[in-house]
Structure 1
Amino acid sequence: MMSTISSQDAIALEEKYGAHNYHPLPVVLAKGSGVHVWDPEGKRYFDFLSAYSAVNQGHCHPRIIQALTEQAQQLTLTSRAFYSVKLGECEKFIAEFFGYERVLMMNSGAEAVETAIKLARRWGYVKKNIPDQQATIIVASENFHGRTTGIISFSSDPDSTRNFGPYMPGYITIPYNNLQALEEHLSNPAICAFLVEPIQGEAGIKIPDEGYLKKAYELCRKHQVLFIADEVQTGIARTGKLLACNYEDVRPDVLILGKALSGGVLPVSAVLADDEVMLTIKPGEHGSTFGGNPLACAVAIEALSVVRDEKLAANAQLMGDKFRTALSELKARYPQTISAVRGRGLLNAVEILPQEDGRTAWDLCVALKDMGLLAKPTHGHIIRFAPPLVITDEQMAQSLQIIERTLETYTTS
């Protein structure tokens, strides 16, 4: 037994006492290590979701856990009312790691997005001289940047917006991967920023055309508009490079990070920018009690060090290529089940066709779970496959065997 509570009892407790704001796969997790997780009864699974890419370094990475434990015995929280011995060290480490002058640390990815929005607006008023209350941000349709009331104001997902209005003004939504639409709106002098995901994760791992990010960045520079990259999910080696923007040598004016910034140990996020943008916010104008706490700082430094020392970006590139090659072969064998395979590094999507008997991608994920591999559908017909970046060649081969055997059973049943 891995736990004193059974899977059935754990699910029953969540159903009775928790808010029903998620629809989890019917599996309960009690332990994790590397690419594996275990349920309370001791069954082992390959984790091919990685907590939506928060666990890039693998579950309970010993170096990160050690950093957490050592710091937890010294000092966990000061608030920003005082200086701490860890915050400046961590800010310097992150700034130099990604090549920026300043770092503003928060907790969740959504908080970091909200921080970037405030920075962009303040910069627009102070540096671009946009008239008060008119600063506008361009966003892409089908985006996912979080679920705060501010962020959902520019979401095109009805599940995120229905019955949660009124919505905040100040946004223009254009199609993703459409440079013409971007250029048409950039001439508006009230535009302060373009906020975009280098790869749209929640939308189904949508990868823009080659050159899109580079040209979008250049257009923003031309029109004195900040280019903000939300790399909460795509960053920190997930796509085979440290940042997805690195594929086109784009250095965002504002970079948003989260998730794997802590290796999945606790919430840590950060916004990176240079002095011209970051120093427009003055004391008392933005903050968080837990943002940049000593515990988070110690963990973030070690989590990024693991990514660097274990060359996880290179491994993500190598393992991702093997995964897509194998899945493309399975697509050719099962054209009535798989309609598309795409991805970059270890952020991949497989589109699943509905079956004549009504089964969907959800049913295939349940079948994969029964065979020992965990993944989750998005938008009903897309399965996201994103294992921890520490996955080995042998583990990838075992995982692909599970997927192949599951597809064989799924298509013949």
Structure 2
Amino acid sequence: MTETAAVTREQELPIHMRRDAFDPAPELAELRDGPGIGRIRTPFGLEGWIVTRFADVREVLSDSERFSNFRVSELRRPPGLEDVSEEELVRMRAGNLLVFDPPDHTRLRRLLTPEFTVRRMRRLEPRIREIVEEHLDAMERSGPPADLVPDFALPVPSLVICELLGVPYADRSEFQERSTRLLDLSVPTDERIQAGRESRVYMADLVKGAQADPGEDMLGMLVREHGDELSFDELCGIASLLLIAGHETTANMLGLGTLALLRHPEQLALLRDEPERVDAAVEELLRWLSIVHSGTGKMATTDVEIAGQKIAAGDFVMCALPAANRDPELLPDPDKLDITRGAMGHLAFGHGIHHCLGAPLARMEMRIAFPALLQRFPGLRTTDAEPGFRSFNVIYGLTSLPIAW
């Protein structure tokens, strides 16, 4: 799909999901630079508000008491979910940190946080370097042209998260296909529900195996150390969330981030020739691309005012992360990609209690992968074939990136 084709259905996309290649749609920037907040209709049919300015988005994300993740489920059911039983909805939510507020969120996150500290992630660094080099070796052996998405960007984080969780890497094509259906909002709701059911069946089998013989992976650790604190459904939900988030987000950052560098050759050359700049480069790419459009929607629990607009208790609220990360109030010339600044404090990983648990792992994978790719193939370039953008997905990115060197 070309850049043009990727936005042919733009009129169907909510404003916060509209992109022009790397950039948020101009009308989203206009909303941010104007009133800062506007009405929105989600693909699920919910009416609500979209918040666009950096300071306002931080305020919403910071306040789980006034802006609830869990109470969104109290709003009317989206089309396609009318026939799903309350019991199944409970199972669908179990273990998914994104849909809970404290104290339930606090309990779940407390069990997982020790496994995602920077110190713990550093133990994975040698293995991540091996995985990166193995895939670069395979690309080099096959020779150009190649497609960076299936050859590098997708398999590297997939293999890392599979090893971390204890998921058979041989199953990757199946879980990647399911996650694609789950996250693609152009797929009919009943098909996405079915993909979720298939995912739970798959995870249930893995959890049963871990309960019978817990290994040294994260799923085995959760069973061994917290089996009395977590229900079977919670174990399945946690594993599903980590598996999907662990490969989808980093894979799309590696693919889209590489294309961004290729289209800004002076930035690419700077990182290739001075790989010590990689920390700053990763932060700038995270900010500039903001591949997660909004994170989880929220419900106002009380009357509140944001950007001068009164929001009533019970209203649905979403945050436009790409607009917030391009806010001139955050940093000067925010629409420019400049890997020399690399300012932290962006919202690409969210903010507050729902700040991405796997951020240390994602950063480490990118800090290893980008310099290794550019140094292995110093002549890296795009081909005449157009990259494929996936605009209707919960996580923005590429379906393909044809390259040569």
Fold match (TM-score > 0.5): no
TM-score category of the 2 structures, normalised to the smaller one:
under 0.3
Larger radius of gyration: 1
Question: Which protein has the bigger helix share?
Answer: 2
Greater relative contact order: 1 or 2 (C-alpha under 8 angstroms, separation 6 or more)? 2
TM-score by length of 1: 0.26
Give the structure with the larger strand fraction. 1
